[in-house]
Amino acid sequence: MQIYDLSKENSIVNQFMAELRDADYQRNRLLFRNNIMRIGEMMAYEISKKLDYAARDITTPLGTSRINLPADDIVLATILRAGLPFHTGFLNVFDHAGNAFVSAYREYTDDSHTEVGIHVEYLATPDLGGKTLIIADPMLATGGSMELGYKAFLTHGTPKRIHVACVIAAPDGIEHVKNSLPADRTTVWCSAIDPALNEHKYIVPGFGDAGDLCYGGKM
């Protein structure tokens, strides 16, 4: 399984990441969502370099121009709720893509808040058979949401390639994806790999709860 970490190379993404992580900046939800969206746009651009291309003749008012255009049939999938602004960033770039949504939320299953269960409830997707599936979710912590989201999408066809796109990944999450998605057809993209999860299964240093930072707390 290939893994691309955008932080390996200096780019403007570093500034978006610094603002996302900064507890003061985080008070501005509009900025938080916007930075997630902008990372989605940058990551989509990087993924676009790995697609298949086919030449097409485009008629201009003055002649013909041959251009290599993406040949992949892309479906942009996301996991509600924190995935929404990230998905928007991808859709700003891959505006011809199909779209798929699944809901998954983590809930503690014990009083000490150290074990999480994941609930999948809503699924809306086009046929995924033979498609290039990009699953955008900002946090890859335990990897449980990604696995269950992927398995829900699989009920609607087997994609040709899978790109797992996240903002921050933890080593546990990457390992989980390696073991639960087809490693020969899956690529993981992230803007940082943070060292660990804390006892509540949050990524450390991470930036906190992505869904709450985008949309506020939930009961």
Ligand X SMILES: O=P(O)(O)OC[C@H]1O[C@H](OP(=O)(O)OP(=O)(O)O)[C@H](O)[C@@H]1O
Ligand Y SMILES: O=c1cc[nH]c(=O)[nH]1
Residues in the site for ligand Y, rule: CB under 6 A?
82, 139, 141, 202-203, 206, 209-211
By CB under 6 A, which span of 12-20, 35-43, 80-88, 127-135 interacts with ligand X? 80-88
Distance in angstroms (rounded) separating the CA atoms of residues 122 and 163: 21
- Min dist CB 21 to ligand Y, Å, is 11
Q: Which is nearer to Mg ion, 76 or 214 (CB)?
A: 214
Taken in order 146, 151, 153, 158, the sign of the CA dihedral is: positive
Q: Which of 88, 142, 186, 191 binds ligand X (CB under 6 A)?
A: 142
Distance in angstroms (rounded) separating the CA atoms of residues 41 and 189: 13
Q: Examine residue 201 and tell whether it contacts Mg ion (CB under 5 A).
A: no
Binding partner of residue 79 among ligand Y, ligand X, Mg ion, none, CB cut-off 5 to 8 Å per kind: ligand X
SS (H, E, C) 80-138: ECCHHHHHHHHHHHCCCCEEEEEEEEEEECCCCCCCEEEEEEEEECCCCCCCEEEEECC
Q: Which is nearer to ligand X, 74 or 168 (CB)?
A: 168
Q: Is the peptide bond before 81 cis (omega within 30 degrees of 0)?
A: yes
Q: Which is nearer to Mg ion, 72 or 137 (CB)?
A: 137
By CB under 6 A, which span of 43-51, 69-77, 81-89, 92-100 interacts with ligand X? 81-89
**Radius of gyration, alpha carbons of the chain:** 18
Q: Which of 209, 215, 216, 219 binds Mg ion (CB under 5 A)?
A: 209
- Min dist CB 80 to ligand Y, Å, is 12
Inter-CA distances, 170 with 30, 187, 219, Å:
25, 15, 26
- Tell me the residue length of the chain: 219
Binding partner of residue 143 among ligand Y, ligand X, Mg ion, none, CB cut-off 5 to 8 Å per kind: ligand X
At 140 the three-state DSSP class reads strand
Q: Which is nearer to ligand Y, 43 or 168 (CB)?
A: 168
Q: Examine residue 201 and tell whether it contacts ligand X (CB under 6 A).
A: yes
The residues that touch Mg ion, with contacts defined as CB under 5 A, are 209, 211
